[in-house]
Amino acid sequence: MKWRINYCITYPTQTLASRYREIVFDTIYNVSSLVKIDLAIKRGHIFDYGNTDVSGTSLKESVSDIVYFRSSPQTKVSIKDFRVMMRCIFHDYELIPDPFELFPMLQKSLPEFPFPCVFLRFLEYPYVEAHKGGHKSLTLLAESVLPILGEEQDASLN
């Protein structure tokens, strides 16, 4: 059964976003790769808080990212199991300190935040399909080629 869910990551300041964003994204990439979920990320989304008075609150300084997840034919978990997995990784196990908030967005907000046409589809490791509009290309995950590149530059191995 196809499913889709969006998560919001909010950092209180740009400094904390700069410090923790890549750690959070790396974790999300690994989870997506593990369970074969389509993934797109929008960095620095600015939410419209309407007439809310944000003077004197941290809302003015906060930085948000939206993470779009969608099941694919290769997906290995249900949406319920995926939510539990995300909660366990980011909240229960506290693998990363809490200088940010990560939470699922309401399902009724999905039409306001449609799945982007630029996304990654994780296949069998180390392969990833990079989709850009109607075009797709087969790529390798960077971490799978870094050891090979390191060997090429090590003169003692030549």
Instruction: Please tell me the distance from the alpha carbon of residue 25 to that of residue 33, in angstroms, as a whole number.
Output: 12
Residue 9 within a domain: yes
Residue 145 has pLDDT above 50, yes or no: no
The structural domain count of the chain equals 1
Q: What is the pTM assigned to this prediction?
A: 0.81
Residue 115 has pLDDT above 50, yes or no: yes
Residue 16 within a domain: yes
Q: Average of pLDDT values for 80-96?
A: 82
Domain limits at 108?
Answer: 4-116
pLDDT for 157: 46
Residue 22 within a domain: yes
Mean pLDDT of the chain: 82
pLDDT for 54: 52
pLDDT by residue (tens digit) across 35-55?
999 999 999 887 765 555 555
The DSSP call for residue 110 is G
Residue 132 within a domain: no
Residue 146 within a domain: no
- First-to-last alpha carbon distance for the chain, in angstroms, is 51
Contacts (Cβ under 8 Å, ≥6 apart) of 117: 131, 132, 133, 134
pLDDT band at 152 (very low <50, low <70, confident <90, very high): very low
Residue 67 has pLDDT above 70, yes or no: yes
pLDDT for 69: 97
Return the CA Rg of the chain. Answer: 18
CATH number at residue 34: 3.30.70
Please state the φ and ψ torsions of residue 93, each to the nearest 5 degrees: -85, -15
pLDDT for 51: 57
Residue 158 within a domain: no
- Sequence-ordered alpha helix ranges (H) in the chain: 14-35, 79-87, 142-153
Instruction: Please tell me the distance from the alpha carbon of residue 11 to that of residue 18, in angstroms, as a whole number.
Output: 9
Instruction: Please tell me the distance from the alpha carbon of residue 117 to that of residue 135, in angstroms, as a whole number.
Output: 10
Among 7-16, 96-105, 115-124, 138-147, the least confident range: 138-147
Instruction: Please tell me the distance from the alpha carbon of residue 115 to that of residue 3, in angstroms, as a whole number.
Output: 11
pLDDT band at 76 (very low <50, low <70, confident <90, very high): confident
pLDDT for 82: 96
pLDDT band at 72 (very low <50, low <70, confident <90, very high): very high
